[in-house]
Amino acid sequence: MALGFFGSFRSNGILGEALRDRDRAVRLLAENGIRSLWNREAGELPGQKIEAIAWLNFSFQYEQAHDVASELIEQLPSFAEAWNQRAISGYGLGQFERAIADCHQALELNAYHFLAASGMGNCYLQRRQSGQALECFQRALKLNPGLDGVRAQVDQLQRTLG
- Same domain? For 21 and 90 the reply is no
- Total domain count for the chain? 2
Cα–Cα distances (Å) from 31 to 57, 111, 122, 147, in that order, read: 20, 15, 20, 10
- Same domain? For 155 and 84 the reply is yes
In tens digits, what is the pLDDT along the chain, a chain of 162 residues? 777 666 777 888 889 999 999 999 999 999 999 988 888 877 777 889 999 999 999 999 999 999 999 999 999 999 999 999 999 999 999 999 999 999 999 999 999 999 999 999 999 999 999 999 999 999 999 999 999 999 999 999 999 998
* Residue 5 belongs to domain spanning: 1-40
- Same domain? For 30 and 107 the reply is no
- Same domain? For 88 and 122 the reply is yes
Q: Chain centroid to CA 121: how far?
A: 11
- Same domain? For 54 and 11 the reply is no
- Same domain? For 66 and 6 the reply is no
- Same domain? For 52 and 115 the reply is yes
Read off the pTM. Answer: 0.90
Q: 129: which DSSP letter?
A: -
